[in-house]
Amino acid sequence: MADDDTSLSDEERVELEQLRAERAERERQRSASAERAELERLKADKAASEADLAERRRIAEAKEKGRRLMEVDENDDDLKMPVGQRIVIIAVVIIAVVLVLTTIL
């Protein structure tokens, strides 16, 4: 009789199996949801990293362009002024001429 009181009936066993299956399904869904969230986070991190790398490259290219503009060509043996310096000097001379002409006229 003690075994009959503690053992489950067929209906109870079926219900227990259903509840276990539902719990397992909820766990699978929760796990899948967590994996999707992690995937989205990793994609966002990767995109941010790639954007940061692209920005660094763009800055490095701009610095290199500026350096080339303001430095003398290393392969050139002549003592020439860099193009950037010539442009700055010409601009200053033009501004000075315009100021002098405006004060005279």
- d(CA 44, CA 38) in angstroms, rounded, equals 10
* DSSP 8-state symbol, 9: P
Report the predicted TM-score, pTM, of the whole model to 2 decimal places. Answer: 0.48
Q: What's the pLDDT tens digit per position in 39-52?
A: 999 999 999 999 99
Domain ranges of the chain: 8-104
Looking at every residue in the chain, the average pLDDT score rounds to 86
- d(CA 70, CA 83) in angstroms, rounded, equals 7
Q: What is the DSSP code string of 39-58?
A: HHHHHHHHHHHHHHHHHHHH
Contact call for residues 84 and 70 (beta carbons, < 8 A): yes
Q: What's the pLDDT tens digit per position in 54-89?
A: 999 999 999 998 888 777 666 665 667 777 888 899
Pair of tokens at residue 3: 């075994």
